[in-house]
Amino acid sequence: METLFEAQGVVRSFRLGRHRVEALRGVDLAVGRGELVAVSGPSGSGKTTLLHLLGALDRPDAGRVLFEGRDLAELGERERTLLRRRALGFVFQTFNLVPVLSALENVEYPLWIAGVSRRERRERAEAALAAVGLAGRLAHRPDELSGGERQRVAVARALVGRPLAILADEPTGNLDSETGAALVDLLVRLHLERGTTVVLATHDPAWLARAPRRVRLRDGRVVADERGPAGGAP
């Protein structure tokens, strides 16, 4: 399997007042093209930090993060921005939708930034919303949608750029169990149908039960990397 993401001896720390917190301590991880990987672990284990590094949203203090074999640290800010725009889709726990825009306009927004024509971005946004079951909610603003619908808009926005990979940080964290299970079904289906690589940070047992690969972090280190049927709760 071709490697898409690779972390090699990655170290990342942050200053918190007078103290330095080590978020990642020498993490090694390779994610193949087309894989679905659930990254679990207790709060503070480094899950979000790892996703930010893989997504070129942050830089390591030591070690290397590669995307398609290229060291992300060698890219300038413009190149990193273009990489995120063209190859990666992001889904966050807090949705990050623009309140004054409709569902359609929120999904169109990254295409507008990328300079895609009005007609093409409208067609692609409508198709992405249809793929997540929101074809009938195009004109609704976020405050007119349920939490599950807002998260599906966020997934459609992540998909609309036709990314090679989606990075999702606790995508079911603000949803009830039924709505969260429906979102798990949706992302697994889209992953299988499109072959999109998915890396997600999660505490959700529903994700861990479905993910073909589960990586567990503790205190900034990889302590387990399992494939096949899930072996238990996070």
**Can you give 5-25 as a three-state secondary structure string?**
EEEEEEEEEEEECCEEEEEEE
- Residue 165 in any domain: the answer is yes
Number of domains in the chain: 1
Residue 145: pLDDT over 50: yes
Instruction: Report the pLDDT value the prediction gives residue 229, as an integer from 0 to 100.
Output: 62
- pLDDT tens readout for residues 110-125: 999 889 999 999 999 9
- Residue 67 in any domain: the answer is no
- Strand order from edge to edge, sheet including 88-92: 88-92, 165-169, 197-201, 36-40, 213-218, 221-227
Instruction: Report the pLDDT value the prediction gives residue 233, as an integer from 0 to 100.
Output: 37
In degrees rounded to 5, what are phi and psi of residue 33?
Answer: -60, 130
- Residue 214 in any domain: the answer is yes
Close Cβ partners of 130 (under 8 Å, ≥ 6 residues apart): none
Return the minimum-mean-pLDDT range out of 16-25, 94-103, 171-180, 213-222: 171-180
Residue 190: pLDDT over 90: no
- pLDDT category, 231, cuts 50, 70, 90? very low
- pLDDT category, 232, cuts 50, 70, 90? very low
Cα–Cα distance, 127 to 132 (Å, whole number): 9
Instruction: Report the pLDDT value the prediction gives residue 234, as an integer from 0 to 100.
Output: 37
Q: What is the pTM of this model?
A: 0.89
Written as one letter, the residue type at 33 is R
- CATH number for the domain spanning 134: value is 3.40.50.300
HEC letters along 131-186: HCCCHHHCCCCHHHCCHHHHHHHHHHHHHHCCCCEEEEECCCCCCCHHHHHHHHHH
- Residue 17 in any domain: the answer is no
Better-predicted residue by pLDDT, 181 or 29: 29
Cα distance between the two ends of the chain: 27
- Residue 161 in any domain: the answer is yes
In 3-state terms, what secondary structure has residue 196? coil
C-alpha dihedral (175, 96, 134, 191), degrees to nearest 10:
-80
In degrees rounded to 5, what are phi and psi of residue 82?
Answer: -65, -40
- Residue 60 in any domain: the answer is no
Asked if 213 contacts 37 with a C-beta cutoff of 8 angstroms, the reply is: yes
- Residue 97 in any domain: the answer is yes
| 158: containing domain | 35-53+83-225
- pLDDT tens readout for residues 37-80: 999 999 889 999 999 999 999 999 999 999 999 999 999 999 99
- Percent of the chain beyond pLDDT 70? 97
- Residue 118 in any domain: the answer is yes
- For strand 213-218 and strand 221-227, is the pairing parallel, antiparallel, or unpaired? antiparallel
- Percent of the chain beyond pLDDT 90? 67
